[in-house]
Amino acid sequence: MPETAPTVFSGESGAISIAGSAYAMVRNWKITKKAANQPVVDSATSGGTTRLGGNMDWSGTFLADGHPSAGLWDAAGVAFVGSMDGAKGCSGNIRVESVRVNIDIASGAPITHEVTFSGNGTLTQGAGVAADASVATPVPSIGSKVELAVPAAEPTWVELAQVQTITLELKRPSVAYADSSSAGYTKRVRGPLDWSLSMKVSPDATSGNAAYGLEGLPQPKTVKGIKITDGNADTWILNWGIFGDIADIEVNRETQAVVSCTLTAEMCGTTDIAAVQTLGSITDPAAATVWPEA
């Protein structure tokens, strides 16, 4: 019999830290550890399969309220600690692969973001010291808006009417490798930064308005500056994005539901301004420059 009766961990005291600092308002975190075990079939395995342990790897996600904190894209990777109870858990260096910001004005849900990451070397299991001592400050989706502008030195911003949902995903897929210096674990270097945007909107039905009808929406191949401002007046500035689809235009006579469609845009890091090819930028709600990097 064990010296003490076994018990279970619950998520009540779960927390994480990133780059040595507690990460605020985390809803959940997940880790997967795996090995690329290698099958062997040869003349000595008697028609069966044996295996050797392969390179180890790990990955994970976490979901948190509000906007992502700065420092997730550090060139050297960032230190991750996942704690189950404030003391036990796991830790290691990670490469952030993507950060997805969810703004659901239609439901009124608070803004959340989900971070997907991959391990950059060893995962240490055992100690997991992290605790969130902050006071929750959830960010409302209600009051959020999107503004667009033709690229210019001094752009003129025009609000896009009747936006229902906004999903912004910043992506930086890493490049995996294993070699004689990686100690049987997979390591990674970061790749180029990219972003994509999806918005569900209703076309403006106001006759005489410049945004009237489908033709008033940003059309495919159009390059725009994009500002996303939340209910607390904090703003993402994306210079620039090129629009792609006007998808799922649905007119339902049977239900008489509100006509809607989905707009998509992607990062377009350079564009012409006054006939000069010009580098853009990405600024987060903390007014930090995400890109270009210093």
pLDDT tens for residues 4-26? 777 899 999 999 999 999 999 99
* Rounded Cα distance, 280 and 241, in Å: 9
Cβ within 8 Å of residue 14, ≥6 positions away: 26, 28, 29, 82, 83, 84, 85
201, two tokens:
């909107």
Q: Could you tell me the pTM of the whole model?
A: 0.93
Residue-wise pLDDT for 68-107, tens only, equals 987 888 888 999 999 999 999 999 999 999 999 999 999 9
3-state helix, strand, coil in the chain (%, to 5): 0, 50, 45
- Residues 98-125: tens digit of each pLDDT: 999 999 999 999 999 999 999 999 999 9
Q: What dihedral angle (degrees, nearest 10) is formed by the CA atoms of 235, 240, 246, 247?
A: -70
Question: Residue 56's pLDDT is what?
Answer: 97
Question: Mean of the per-residue pLDDT values for the chain?
Answer: 95
